[in-house]
Structure 1
Amino acid sequence: MLFLLPAATGLGAFRRGPVRWRVSMSPSIQIPVSMRFLRFVLTVCLMGGAAVLAPSAYGQETARGTVYQDANENQQKDSGEAGIAGVSVSNGRQVVQTDTEGQYTLPVRDGDAIFVTKPAGYRVPVDAHNRPQFYYLHDPDGTPDSLDLKFPGVEPTGPLPEAVNFPLHPSEKQESFTALAFADPQAGSHEELRFVRDDVIDELTGADAAFGITVGDVVADDLSLYPRHLRNVGAIGIPWWRVPGNHDMNYEVASDEYATETYKRYFGPTNYSFTYGDVHFIALDNVQYKGKGERYTYSGKYRGYLKENQLEWIREDLASVSTEKRVVIATHIPLRTYAVGDTTESWLPGTDNLGALLDVLEEYRVYSISGHDTSNSWHVYLDEEHGWTGPGTFHHHVLAEVRGGSWKGPRDDRDIPAATMEDGTPNGYYSLHFEGTDYEAQFQAAGRPADRQRRVTVHQPAGDQQQAHAGQWAPPTLCVNVFDGGPKTTVQYRIGDRDPVVMERTIQKDPFMERLYQRVEGTEAAVSAPEPSSHLWTAPLPDDLAPGAHTVTVTSRNEFGRADTTASVIEVQEPPSAHEEPQ
């Protein structure tokens, strides 16, 4: 005999949550079960039959619906609005294609997200804050109350609707388009949300871009800031996609299973894909939380990792994607982590099972973007040495951050900190330009002219750092920090009509950051200690420069072959006499 017993008396026994009832073969043997299991048992009893309880039956239903052309853009399927064939729809594990009528069926479990992969030539609807409306969360009971989250999770969605339809709006397929990319806005307070707004969002409002994407750390642990963040980023005026970072997690939970409940409440699924032009984007949550009070041996309370069900979903997602397309992977934690570009391993976690992802992607040309590193931006080109056997090299790009150096440093006339990263890169964001399957990423320092792509400084090991005194020392070093430069970047300088001098990429701390750190240490404007930069180029100045002002022209050619030129003035002073102080 099967007994269903309330776990407590009174109305409290009927609250939603993971353990509200107990099922027992006798009143003395009780097994805790969830409301999801209870619904299944009641269904079996009402049908008057017996059941063998298999994991595949647990909480599983069938979702049905239509992907259709929403001609009047009212997000309702009206008479005469045709279905769209061949569109991918997923439950996060399996991927199916819509039939000739635009219809699909998918198994769905409680807690699943059902979502559509936006195809090229269509737009997904957006809400008032420009959040793409491409998914349906199926969580009848919502996030379990017993988790006692600090920030609210998913609200109960109730029974699965008879139809879960997805409207798409036809648009011209663009072979050429631009996307905006943010890494780690990571505002931890309302003041820091103002910094993001005034330093970055203001200059992007009305941007001529197809969409934007944030590669994690949308905010910094205080998930109550999500609504204001949404309003502000939504004001840019373009659809904005996101992936979660380690600062977007519910840290109270015991495992990774419920670590993104608040994130999902506001942004939906944590793994999904969409297509623009000839580029297929795959967004992945590669932050695996160990659980409250638990730690991984090397990486702390989380690690970079892709679960087997994520890898299987990627395989299914790509099954309908031509190998002629470019694939762009967006994650928060870098896939391959270096402290300083392609030279030195970092203590920061990379993605532990990168090799498994490389195997899944091996037929495609891949560009990947991530954030997470607070000290450096860099480019890594994965090849056979790293386990990549696909076409060309796998370009992995760790982006400089919107928040830069943790929103620290001297403040400007807008009362916004300089926020320079420890490698000397200003805080900023990226424009990703696509032409067919070709691409170029362009870094933009926040609040600065578009041509501000480098910083030129003169470094003397001792003495005044801004001026050079002729004839008294070995020639000082010209230092050029090419923001977002990498191993393929080349730099040269020319003084007047002299021959150009090729500069050498040097892994060292930026002298500018060393001076800044010393100047503000111990003050309210203190910055983090400098870290070696992966994009610093150095060369000695000529030892025969005459006293006076000289124009130094620096030309850099970046990872994508684009050349930029900057002119700076340096001064060479007469050596001081025995009785005069240096000027």
Structure 2
Amino acid sequence: MEKRRSFLKSIALLGTALSVPTALFAERKSFSPVLKDAMVSGKVTDQGKGIPGVPVTDGFTIVTTDHQGSFELQRDPRSEFIYLTKPSGYEFTHQSGIAQFYKPIAAGDYNFSLKKLGKDDDEHVFVVWADPQIQTDADAQNILTQAGPDLVKLKASYPTGTLIHGICAGDIVWDQFRLFKDYKNSISQSDIPFFQVIGNHDMDLDVRTDDLSARTFKQNFGPSYYSYNRGKIHYIALDDVFFLGTGRRYIGYLTENQLHWLEQDLSHVPLGTTVVLTLHIPTNTGQKRRYGLKEDDIANVVSNREQLYQILKPYQSYILSGHTHFNEHIVEGNRHEIVHGAICGAWWSGPVCYDGTPKGYGVYEVKGNQLSWYYKSIGKEKEHQIRVYDRGNKARPGQVVANVWNWDASWEVKWKEDGVLKGTMTQFSGKDPMAIDLYEGAVKPQEQPWVEPILTDHLFYANPSTVAKSVEVIATDRFGQVFTARIDL
């Protein structure tokens, strides 16, 4: 943890220089000179018939196909791909689990063939994996034997033919690009198409600027920002890891190129649409408040998030992120951010993240423009949503403590003593007792001794009587789903 704190402190020292990133990275009203041979054209078809109105982009400019499905695009000299925003009602094609919606500029052929779904896609499911973060062959075995099979089992729990896709919220590997193949093998087990966003550990660090830092990621997964549609939902992926050009230093920041592209993208989306946006670094967390900090840690939140919020304001937006290895919900008006616990838990060194959230992932069920969700702990059933600690715990000795890791302020958490309902548990910010036992101290966990438990808001306590024999915790989420957990005292 000391190494991590030193790193974060060094990042924080850059705050004065980077507190107004727009001063460093000024808005570009015009881009590089247009190349003479920069006009590209193609067609988007379904069984040879053109599909009109499909957005096509080079990552800088967006055009739409005409009534015959054809498009022409004056590409930017810096563009690396021609890709489209898949319309609702069409299949997500994939290769070894990696969604296919793009063509490298070098391909020369920019025709796209789509296939109509055989069913309505207003109802579908998607999962969010955050931070697989595999660094060693042992980590690769873990993701292949734990996370991959868990996803296979989850898919089998839904009726045959259910439309399911996946999103990986970054830090696919831990700087070891040779292990991208193991990630691909893990997701291909379930035959679910996955869309990826880039994390800070997926960046090339041997380049001089952020513009070049996604080189290997793009070779494996395509563009680092893009959009697609399924049913009534518009999905967006963005790259918010900004490499500072030295060491391993980065900040959470969205470039003008992306914000300009996003404005174009959303101009094709009706106001009020439900938008699901995935990026790696959270736009915001509660860490500044929990730790009483004067400033945000600019390596762990998006420094220019207000500009993003302004663009998203006309939409019902869900921002899905990872990076932190803890689970948290932040709800403000029509914007709901969900920071996901990690697939790897505490970097494959223990069964829980350092806020006590089990290693796992988010599962989202979509009906029309409405989302519901739950957190799926790897190796556990869907009902595993609470962990209860007896009075001997180190977080609040003498009291019973519950960790309800997917909690947000709309949940209701009650408790029973010996079968008798006693009322609402008291929410508090503290450290998870299991995380304390597993991770607190300079020598544990053995694999990653710098891991330490952190403060979290999703803890609750109750004071049972001295003669109580058992306590049951009953948590009801915002969708009316009821979860319980019981402990004998």
Q: Smaller-chain TM-score range?
A: 0.7 to 0.9
**TM-superposition CA deviations, 1:464-485 (whole Å, max 9, x none):** x9xxxxxxxx992010001222
Tell me, yes or no, if structure 1 residue 253 matches structure 2 residue 207.
yes
Pick aligned residue for 2:128 from 177, 181, 197: 181
Quote the Cα distance in structure 2 between the aligned partners of 1:498 and 1:194. Answer: 46
Question: 1:144-155 maps to which residues of 2 (within 5 A)?
Answer: none
Instruction: Out of 362-371 and 118-127, give the one that drifted further.
Output: 118-127
Question: 1:183-202 maps to which residues of 2 (within 5 A)?
Answer: 183-202=130-149
Question: 1:329-368 maps to which residues of 2 (within 5 A)?
Answer: 329-339=277-287, 347=297, 348-368=299-319
Quote the Cα distance in structure 2 between the aligned partners of 1:552 and 1:284. Answer: 44
Quote the Cα distance in structure 1 between the aligned partners of 2:239 and 2:428. Answer: 34
Pick aligned residue for 2:170 from 208, 216, 230: 216
Change beyond 3 A, Cα 1:360–1:455: same
CA contact (8 A) 2:175 2:201 kept: yes
Change beyond 3 A, Cα 1:55–1:244: closer
Gapped regions of structure 2 (runs ≥ 5):
1-30
**TM-score of the superposition, structure 1-length normalised?**
0.72
CA contact (8 A) 1:485 1:559 kept: no
CA contact (8 A) 2:440 2:452 kept: no
CA contact (8 A) 2:81 2:104 kept: yes
Hey, what does 1:403 align to over in structure 2? Answer: 344
Q: Which amino acid aligns with 1:381?
A: V
Deviation at 1:125, TM superposition (A): 2.4
Q: Which amino acid aligns with 1:484?
A: N
Deviation at 1:112, TM superposition (A): 2.5
Question: 1:234-313 maps to which residues of 2 (within 5 A)?
Answer: 234-293=188-247, 301-313=249-261
Deviation at 1:458, TM superposition (A): 1.4
Tell me, yes or no, if structure 1 residue 165 matches structure 2 residue 111.
yes
Deviation at 1:560, TM superposition (A): 4.0
**TM-superposition CA deviations, 1:110-150 (whole Å, max 9, x none):** 542110111110114222x0222210111xxxxxxxxxxxx
Instruction: Out of 523-532 and 239-248, give the one that drifted further.
Output: 523-532
Q: What is the aligned-residue identity percentage?
A: 28
Pick aligned residue for 1:114 from 45, 59, 82: 82
Deviation at 1:200, TM superposition (A): 1.1
Hey, what does 1:415 align to over in structure 2? Answer: none
Change beyond 3 A, Cα 1:327–1:342: farther
Question: 1:31-42 maps to which residues of 2 (within 5 A)?
Answer: none
* Secondary structure at the counterpart of residue 98 of structure 2: coil
Tell me, yes or no, if structure 1 residue 494 matches structure 2 residue 397.
no
Quote the Cα distance in structure 2 between the aligned partners of 1:201 and 1:359. Answer: 37
* Secondary structure at the counterpart of residue 535 of structure 1: strand
**TM-superposition CA deviations, 1:341-383 (whole Å, max 9, x none):** 8785563531111111111112111011000003x2111112x
CA contact (8 A) 1:342 1:379 kept: no
CA contact (8 A) 2:127 2:364 kept: yes
Quote the Cα distance in structure 2 between the aligned partners of 1:290 and 1:95. Answer: 28
Hey, what does 1:379 align to over in structure 2? Answer: 329
Deviation at 1:174, TM superposition (A): 1.7
Quote the Cα distance in structure 1 between the aligned partners of 2:127 and 2:94. Answer: 17
Hey, what does 1:451 align to over in structure 2? Answer: 383
Deviation at 1:518, TM superposition (A): 6.1
Deviation at 1:84, TM superposition (A): 0.5
Deviation at 1:569, TM superposition (A): 1.9
Change beyond 3 A, Cα 1:244–1:341: farther
Change beyond 3 A, Cα 1:568–1:60: farther
Deviation at 1:526, TM superposition (A): 6.9
- Cα RMSD of the aligned pairs, angstroms, is 2.4
Change beyond 3 A, Cα 1:523–1:123: closer
Quote the Cα distance in structure 2 between the aligned partners of 1:312 and 1:332. Answer: 19
CA contact (8 A) 1:342 1:380 kept: no
**TM-superposition CA deviations, 1:541-573 (whole Å, max 9, x none):** 124x26xxx232210122444221223322xxx
Quote the Cα distance in structure 1 between the aligned partners of 2:289 and 2:319. Answer: 15
Quote the Cα distance in structure 2 between the aligned partners of 1:226 and 1:337. Answer: 28
Quote the Cα distance in structure 1 between the aligned partners of 2:345 and 2:268. Answer: 38
Hey, what does 2:187 align to over in structure 1? Answer: 233
Pick aligned residue for 1:87 from 44, 54, 63: 54
Higher alpha-carbon Rg: 1
CA contact (8 A) 1:173 1:276 kept: no
Change beyond 3 A, Cα 1:82–1:318: same
Quote the Cα distance in structure 2 between the aligned partners of 1:453 and 1:111. Answer: 44
CA contact (8 A) 1:290 1:301 kept: yes
Quote the Cα distance in structure 2 between the aligned partners of 1:289 and 1:525. Answer: 27
Q: Which amino acid aligns with 2:461?
A: T
Change beyond 3 A, Cα 1:443–1:497: closer
- Equivalences, count: 446
Gapped regions of structure 1 (runs ≥ 5):
1-53, 72-80, 139-156, 294-299, 383-391, 410-417, 466-473, 571-583
